[in-house]
């Protein structure tokens, strides 16, 4: 088959775009020339692969088997062009492998329905009005007249219908793996030298990232401990970075938060690369912390307090009291907004709520005593029932009172099946 181009199309119907890298990796294991055709579609150039993998049917079967092992139900079409191979894969029906013999692309495509072209509704309706229903009928139309009526799009569709697919494959190359390792068979037991080791790896990774004009938005480290146990950790900077000093500070803090339990014999550091465009700040934009300094500050903060307690809060769509979630703090540009004109009364949450002794009078709280707070209630409003999530395993229901004590303290009391609690203080 020397001199004849043969293209295989690996096609997964209704594919999840997240599975595309796995599909590309499968293709790359079989051919060095691979093109990413969009979600669920990968093209391979089969030139010269017979000696390696066998005939076309064997290659197709291998591709299909590898895709199945990765959890994808793939079809394979092989033809002389991308379009014909894709049509063959899509039109296969129950047959998972469809091979169009060399030189037979046009005749094979002729009776195929126009739907294989994936036309928009307008174009499909127009061709249907002309009585064009197969690829062969579209291929036979005079090109000049087609161009006059449908423009460049019409000519493009006709070329596809004829199986003409002249441009070479746009080769896909896997993203570079940003990973560095170091062996220390003598075993590193102290955190400081281990941090130095990670800092060295971070310096090499950051140098490689900068050469590719990339930054890292996450780091993962893996330590192989004495006794073959594995100790892992991850950390993410507030903004993508390629600065070795900031990365080293972040990794040291991450390591200090999750110290290994035994001597480390090997350590591996991986960075997740992202491309960050250089955007010039606007003149009216307020200053923001530099990613390098902020990352270093966050790394040092995580050595002072729990890393899970540093970040931004996001309110949850729930009526449960104090329903929020911590998320990593990220640097994003914000526009100025009109500030709220109505000053709001701040509530200070007591976490966890304090158990309280409450004396009732005529069904309403009259006195309260809790750790750090006691007094007669001079005014109050309630109860307001708060309940929800009864459909989950952790439903909540409680009655709430806002009360004013004789010393002026404004606070929120709550009562549920466990008793009275001091939930919050207004301030």
Where does residue 337 rank: exposed (0-12), middle (13-18), buried (19+ CB within 10 A)? exposed
Q: Least Å distance between CB 365 and another protein?
A: 13
Nearer Cβ to another protein (225/301): 301
Q: Least Å distance between CB 417 and another protein?
A: 24
- SS3 of residue 317 by DSSP: coil
Query: DSSP characters for 57-114?
Result: HHHHHHHHHHHHHTT---EEEEESSHHHHHHHHHHTTT-SEEEPPTT-HHHHHTTSBG
One of 52, 166, 279, 338 touching another protein (CB under 8 A): 338
One of 332, 362, 394, 417 touching another protein (CB under 8 A): 332
DSSP state of 288: -
Nearer Cβ to another protein (5/409): 409
Nearer Cβ to another protein (306/393): 306
Lookup: tokens for 120: 């928009």
**What is the spatial distance between Cα 191 and Cα 260, in angstroms, rounded to a whole number?**
8
Q: Least Å distance between CB 39 and another protein?
A: 31
Hey, what's the torsion of the CAs at 157, 163, 168, 173, to 10 degrees?
Answer: 80
* CB-based contacts of 225, cutoff 8 Å, min separation 6: 231, 260, 261, 262, 263, 264, 265
Task: Kindly identify the residues of this chain, within the stretch 111-140, that bind another protein according to CB under 8 A.
Answer: none
Which of 57-65, 128-136, 178-186, 335-343 is the region at the interface with another protein (rule: CB under 8 A)? Answer: 335-343
How many degrees, rounded to 5, is the angle at CA 54 between CA 50 and CA 57?
A: 105
What string marks each residue from 383 to 422 as x (binds another protein by CB under 8 A) or -?
A: -x-----------------x-x---xxxx-----------
Q: Least Å distance between CB 370 and another protein?
A: 10
Which of 41-49, 208-216, 220-228, 380-388 is the region at the interface with another protein (rule: CB under 8 A)? Answer: 380-388
Nearer Cβ to another protein (208/415): 415
Question: In terms of residues, how long is the chain?
Answer: 427
Question: How do 419-426 and 410-416 pair as beta strands?
Answer: antiparallel
**What is the spatial distance between Cα 400 and Cα 417, in angstroms, rounded to a whole number?**
13
Which of 14-22, 27-35, 126-134, 367-375 is the region at the interface with another protein (rule: CB under 8 A)? Answer: 367-375
Q: Least Å distance between CB 251 and another protein?
A: 18
**What is the spatial distance between Cα 286 and Cα 289, in angstroms, rounded to a whole number?**
10
State the angle between helix axes of 244-257 and 291-304 in degrees (0 to 180), rounded to the nearest 10.
Answer: 20
One of 173, 278, 280, 342 touching another protein (CB under 8 A): 342
Establish if 362 lies at the interface with another protein (CB under 8 A). no
One of 65, 149, 348, 376 touching another protein (CB under 8 A): 348
Q: Least Å distance between CB 13 and another protein?
A: 39
How many residues belong to the site for another protein (CB under 8 A)? Answer: 62
Task: Kindly identify the residues of this chain, within the stretch 276-315, that bind another protein according to CB under 8 A.
Answer: 285-290, 293-294, 297, 300-301, 304-306, 309-315
- Neighbour order of strands in the sheet with 215-225: 179-188, 264-274, 215-225, 230-235
How many whole angstroms from its chain centre is CA 396?
32
Q: Which positions lie near another protein, rule CB under 8 A?
A: 285-290, 293-294, 297, 300-301, 304-306, 309-315, 322, 324, 326, 329-332, 334-340, 342-351, 371-373, 379-381, 384, 402, 404, 408-411, 424-427
């Amino acid at each position: 088959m020397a001199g004849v181009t043969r293209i295989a199309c690996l096609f997964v119907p209704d594919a999840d775009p997240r599975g595309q890298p796995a599909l590309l990796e499968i293709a790359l294991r079989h051919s060095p020339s691979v093109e990413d055709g969009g979600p669920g579609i990968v093209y391979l150039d089969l030139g010269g692969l017979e000696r390696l993998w066998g005939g076309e049917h064997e290659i197709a079967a291998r591709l299909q088997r590898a895709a199945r092992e990765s959890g994808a139900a793939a079809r394979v079409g092989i033809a002389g062009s991308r379009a014909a191979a894709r049509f063959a894969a899509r039109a296969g029906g129950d047959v998972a492998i469809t091979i169009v013999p060399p030189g037979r692309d046009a005749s094979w495509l002729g009776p195929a329905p126009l739907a294989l072209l994936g036309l928009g509704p307008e174009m499909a309706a127009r061709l249907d009005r002309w009585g064009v229903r197969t690829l062969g009928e579209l291929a036979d139309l005079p090109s000049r007249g087609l161009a006059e009526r449908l423009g460049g799009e019409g000519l493009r569709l006709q070329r596809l219908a004829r199986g003409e697919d002249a441009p070479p494959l746009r080769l896909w190359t896997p993203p570079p793996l940003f990973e560095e390792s170091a062996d220390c068979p003598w075993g590193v037991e102290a955190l400081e030298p281990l941090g130095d080791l990670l800092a060295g790896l971070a310096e090499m990774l950051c140098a490689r990232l900068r050469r590719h004009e990339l930054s890292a938005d996450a780091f993962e480290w893996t330590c192989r401990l004495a006794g073959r146990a594995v100790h892992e950790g991850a950390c993410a900077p507030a903004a993508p970075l390629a600065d070795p000093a900031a990365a080293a500070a972040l990794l040291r803090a991450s390591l200090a938060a999750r110290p290994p339990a035994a001597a480390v014999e090997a350590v591996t550091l991986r960075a997740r690369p992202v491309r960050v465009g250089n955007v010039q700040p606007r003149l009216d934009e307020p200053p923001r912390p530099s990613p390098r300094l902020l990352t270093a500050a966050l790394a040092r903060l995580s050595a002072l307090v729990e890393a899970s307690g540093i970040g931004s809060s996001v309110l949850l769509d729930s009526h449960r009291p104090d329903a929020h979630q911590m998320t990593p703090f990220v640097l994003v540009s914000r526009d100025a907004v009109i500030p709220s004109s109505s000053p709001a009364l701040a509530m200070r949450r007591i976490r966890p709520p304090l158990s309280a002794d409450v004396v009732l009078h005529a069904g309403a709280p009259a006195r309260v005593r809790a750790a750090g707070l006691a007094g007669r209630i001079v005014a109050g409003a309630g109860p307001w029932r708060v309940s929800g999530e009864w459909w989950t395993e952790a439903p909540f229901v409680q009655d709430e009172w806002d009360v004013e004590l004789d010393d002026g303290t404004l606070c929120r009391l709550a009562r549920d099946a466990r008793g009275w609690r001091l939930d919050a203080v207004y301030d």
